[in-house]
Structure 1
């Protein structure tokens, strides 16, 4: 499926991996609907990209907020005639915390819910609310394709570290729902692909200390470095354009496996 003259929705699109993907889609001639909490960053990105970009402030933990972004996007699409052909559910957080701490206190449900509500509930809610728009598309390819759903898991889904119980649970669930969602949407010609990155340059990893970073570098195979946002974005582009990619969880990790201890 081509990217040019189609609209792509990216949650968490105003920074990090999401922003890199927004810029990739835009560079290839696509229209981008940027959903993010951060107004200043979102508006700055639209100012940089121009007429084929729109920003909608969105909190993915709120169904009402997502609904407003869906309406804003569909109203814009009615003007541009560039159908919504893809959704990247990229909004995510990591809030470390062991299931029980050194003082014998269990991890609070508030911290657990914070991670699950953004990474899992937000992903599902965003996708389900945009699907009616995609299902209504005229076929975009000779195969009858109407669009693609991209989700973001993590290497932590399979080799999570201590303190990543909530994060791994959320990302493992995203991986697990990839195939059933692809099967649900096959009749409509909508594909589902999940990308599971390891350590990538982002605001989250920027907060790591040198000791943690050096420890992680010791378990990297090749290349011995963090992934770059544009490398993630290129895979999103390939998953969009390659119709045979469907129902798959793709690790993007340079053969890295996260260690059990730093």
Structure 2
């Protein structure tokens, strides 16, 4: 199915969160290596240029919406066939305090962050896995690969990141049991836990917050580049021994409390 330098012509890869940041960079790298693409993002405009350049199928969809996702996935199957690769990059990272100035933090904020980052990841994992299980196996019996996006916040969440850390911790904890369950179908599951990366989501953080984090990155002392995430995703996809693992991609960063 997969070779180190390129993908077989029939390889369909789904990338969620493809409209910007890590998802966009990953989709571009996959396309450059010959994969066919299905792009998923809440906002269609972010995918337009990439779809035009690559001929990808672009679908505007809330990844955590069950019926909408099933409809989008059905369209992928009908128009492009079954995927062999899924890279889940869709996510949000707003701050959400447990206690705010006027009382308890709103439950709705916690629910929204967990819904997009964790429910959305699981939702597309389950849809893709069910389809991948029907693929013909390659020479090693592999039928598909799923790469999810966790975060270093799963392990060292900062003040104001309780909801985000809980959601990304869920993604990290999902990795091994999903890999174990899907092994009998020839499907591998792994996750990347990025540190500070130069994406719109990170750039929306206050400048002083970004500066504090940059100061504690050992080396290289800079935000990661989205294509560096994409390269790690490709390594997971093409290396058959990567399974059930959460791989940190953080230049040695260990987050402080604030």
TM range (shorter): over 0.9
Is the contact made by 1:14 and 1:35 (CA closer than 8 Å) also made in structure 2?
yes
Deviates more, 1:123-132 or 1:166-175: 123-132
Is the contact made by 2:19 and 2:40 (CA closer than 8 Å) also made in structure 1?
yes
User: Structure 2 CA distance, aligned partners of 1:209 and 1:186?
Assistant: 42
- Superposition deviation, residue 101 in structure 1: 2.1
Is the contact made by 1:151 and 1:194 (CA closer than 8 Å) also made in structure 2?
yes
Q: Which residue is equivalent to 1:12? A: 17
Aligned with residue 135 of structure 2, among 119, 133, 137: 137
Indicate whether 1:74 and 2:63 are aligned.
no
> TM-score, structure 1 length as denominator?
0.93
User: Structure 1 CA distance, aligned partners of 2:95 and 2:47?
Assistant: 27
Indicate whether 1:220 and 2:217 are aligned.
yes
- Superposition deviation, residue 203 in structure 1: 0.8
- Superposition deviation, residue 96 in structure 1: 0.5
Q: Which residue is equivalent to 1:41? A: 46
Deviates more, 1:90-99 or 1:225-234: 90-99
Q: Which residue is equivalent to 1:117? A: 115
Q: Which residue is equivalent to 1:155? A: 152
User: Structure 1 CA distance, aligned partners of 2:36 and 2:19?
Assistant: 15
Aligned with residue 29 of structure 2, among 24, 32, 39: 24
User: Structure 2 CA distance, aligned partners of 1:220 and 1:185?
Assistant: 36
User: Structure 2 CA distance, aligned partners of 1:77 and 1:144?
Assistant: 22
User: Structure 1 CA distance, aligned partners of 2:135 and 2:43?
Assistant: 30
- Superposition deviation, residue 129 in structure 1: 1.6
Is the contact made by 2:64 and 2:115 (CA closer than 8 Å) also made in structure 1?
yes
Aligned with residue 246 of structure 2, among 246, 249, 258: 249
Query: Unaligned regions of 5+ residues in structure 1, if any?
Result: none
Residue 111 of structure 1 aligns to a residue in which SS? helix
Instruction: Give the ranges of 4+ consecutive aligned residues of structure 1 lying more than 4 Å apart after TM superposition.
Output: none
- Superposition deviation, residue 124 in structure 1: 0.8
Deviates more, 1:158-167 or 1:87-96: 87-96
Deviates more, 1:56-65 or 1:246-255: 56-65
Is the contact made by 1:99 and 1:107 (CA closer than 8 Å) also made in structure 2?
yes
Is the contact made by 1:99 and 1:165 (CA closer than 8 Å) also made in structure 2?
yes
